[in-house]
Amino acid sequence: MMSNIPYIAGTMRWGTWGANFSTAQYCKAIQHCLEQGITCFDGADIYGHYTTEAAFGKALAEMGLERDKYQIISKAGILLPNAAPYFAQLKHYNTSKAHLISAVQRSLQDLQTDYLDIFLVHRPSPLMHLQEVAEALTYLLQNGLVKKVGVSNFSFEQVELLSSYLPLDCHQFECSLWRPQAFTNGVLHQCQQKNIQAMVWGPLGGGVLGQENQEQLSKAIAQMALKYKVSAAQIAYLFIQSHPISMQIVTGTTQLERITEAANTTAYTLAESDWFTLYEAAMGQEVP
Ligand SMILES: NC(=O)c1ccc[n+]([C@@H]2O[C@H](COP(=O)([O-])OP(=O)(O)OC[C@H]3O[C@@H](n4cnc5c(N)ncnc54)[C@H](OP(=O)(O)O)[C@@H]3O)[C@@H](O)[C@H]2O)c1
C-alpha cells in the first residue's frame, strides 16, 4: 500500500550525484523517511551514473525490511556517455522494448528485489515507437516485474497517444514555483481525466530556492512564510500541494531535517488568494 502522505523521497542526490551517502547513511535516511510516513522512494537507473540503485539496494538488504513496508520507483530510457554498463558514445535515449525490459531487470538486481512498485519511461525519445513502449510496459506488468507503469516528462499529446495502447498509472513531471507550466499545459488535468497519478519532481526548482534572481518571487515566498509561520521551502511545497488535483511531490533533499519539514507540510493549506499571489510572482505578471 502506498502511504497517504503525498511526499516521496527522491534519491537522485543521495549517491555520487550529491551527498554520496555511505551504506550507514542510506539506512539512516531510509529509516528516517519511514518514521515520517514517507514510504516511497524515487530512483532511476542513471542516478549516480548507474550506481545509486545498487547502493540503495545494499542498504535495504542490510535493513532487512519487509518488502511491503516500502515502495520503489525506477525509471529507464536514458543512456549516459562513457559510463558502465552501456558505454554510450553520447547521451541519448533508448525506449526500445529490449532496452526497457533489460534495464528493469538490471535495476531489480541492483535493488536486490523482485519487483518495482512503479516503473516510468524516463523521457520520451524522438525515436520512440509507441506500440513497442506499450509492449514493453505490458510485458513488465504481466511478468510481475513491476506493479504499476507510467511515464516521465511526456507532453500532453505523448501521454494521450501512449495511453491509447495501455492505461498509464503515473506521470512524473517537473512542477514548481520556478517551473509552473504544468498548471496550464494540460498534463495535470489530463492526469485527472485519465485517472493517472500526477507526481512532481523538482518542487524547489532543483535547489534554486533562496538563490533565484526573481526578486518579486523571493519577496512573495518570504511574505507567505511569515504569514503561515512556515519555511520558504514549505511555501514552495504548499504551492504544489494545495492544488485540488492531488499531486505527489518527490523531494530532492539529502538532509533528514528537511525531509521532516516536507512531511510536516501536509498540515497546511494555502488560501486561494495566497496561491494566486505566489503564482503572479512566479509568472511576473497579473493573471489576464
Ligand atoms: N523524472 C525526472 O526526469 C526527474 C528529474 C529530476 C529529479 N527527479 C526526481 O525528483 C527528485 C527531486 O528533484 P530535485 O532534487 O530537483 O528536487 P528539489 O527539491 O527541487 O531540489 C533539491 C535540492 O534543493 C536543495 N535545497 C535547498 N534548500 C532546501 C530546503 N530548504 N529544503 C530542501 N531542499 C533544499 C537540496 O539541498 P540539500 O540536499 O542540501 O537539502 C537539493 O540539492 C530527485 O531526487 C529525483 O528522484 C526526477
- Looking at residue 208, what is its pLDDT? 85
- Looking at residue 212, what is its pLDDT? 64
Q: How far is CA 215 from the centre of its chain?
A: 28
Mutation pick for ligand 1 pocket among 11, 12, 116 (CB with most ligand atoms within 8 Å): 12
- The string of pLDDT tens digits covering residues 173-205 is 999 999 999 999 999 999 999 999 999 999 999
Q: How far is CA 171 from the centre of its chain?
A: 9
Ligand 1 pocket member 48 (CB < 6 A): no
pLDDT of 168 above 50: yes
Q: What is the mean pLDDT of the chain?
A: 96
DSSP string, 86-103: T-BSS-EE---HHHHHHH
- φ, ψ of residue 28 to 5 degrees: the values are -65, -40
Residue with cell 507532453: 155
**Mean pLDDT calculated for residue range 265-281:** 95
Ligand 1: atom nearest CA of 44 is 47
47: part of which helix (H) or strand (E)? Answer: helix 47-50
Q: Compare 53 and 208 and report the one with higher pLDDT.
A: 53
Mutation pick for ligand 1 pocket among 116, 209, 239 (CB with most ligand atoms within 8 Å): 209
Specify whether 47 is catalytic.
Answer: yes
- What separation in angstroms does the CA of 66 have from each of 24, 26, 113, 203, 239? 18, 17, 11, 30, 34
- The string of pLDDT tens digits covering residues 2-32 is 445 799 999 999 999 999 999 999 999 999 9
Ligand 1 pocket member 233 (CB < 6 A): yes
Looking at 1.10.3720.10, 3.20.20.100, 3.40.50.740, 3.50.50.60, the CATH number of the domain 7-283 comes to 3.20.20.100
119: part of which helix (H) or strand (E)? Answer: strand 116-121
Ligand 1 pocket member 250 (CB < 6 A): yes
Ligand 1 pocket member 171 (CB < 6 A): no
- Looking at residue 1, what is its pLDDT? 39
The residues, any chain, with a CB within 8 Å of residue 116's CB and separated by 6 or more, are: 72, 73, 74, 104, 107, 108, 145, 146, 147
- The string of pLDDT tens digits covering residues 63-112 is 999 999 999 999 999 999 999 999 999 999 999 999 999 999 999 999 99
Ligand 1 pocket member 204 (CB < 6 A): yes
Among 277, 180, 179, residue whose Cα is nearest residue 227: 277
Q: Report whether the peptide linkage leading into residue 85 is cis, meaning its omega lies within 30 degrees of zero.
A: yes
Specify the residue with its C-alpha closest to ligand 1, atom 22.
252
- Looking at residue 2, what is its pLDDT? 45
3-state secondary structure of 73: strand
Using alpha carbons only, how large is the chain's radius of gyration in Å?
A: 19
Burial of 80 (0-12, 13-18, 19+ CB in 10 A): middle
Instruction: Report the separation in Å between the CA atom of 7 and the middle of ligand 1, taken as the mean of its atom positions.
Output: 12
CA torsion sign, 110 to 116 to 89 to 136? positive
Active-site residue, from 47, 50, 70, 237: 47
Ligand 1 pocket member 248 (CB < 6 A): no
Q: Where are the domains of the chain?
A: 7-283
Residue with cell 516521496: 8
Ligand 1: atom nearest CA of 255 is 41
| Entry pTM | 0.97
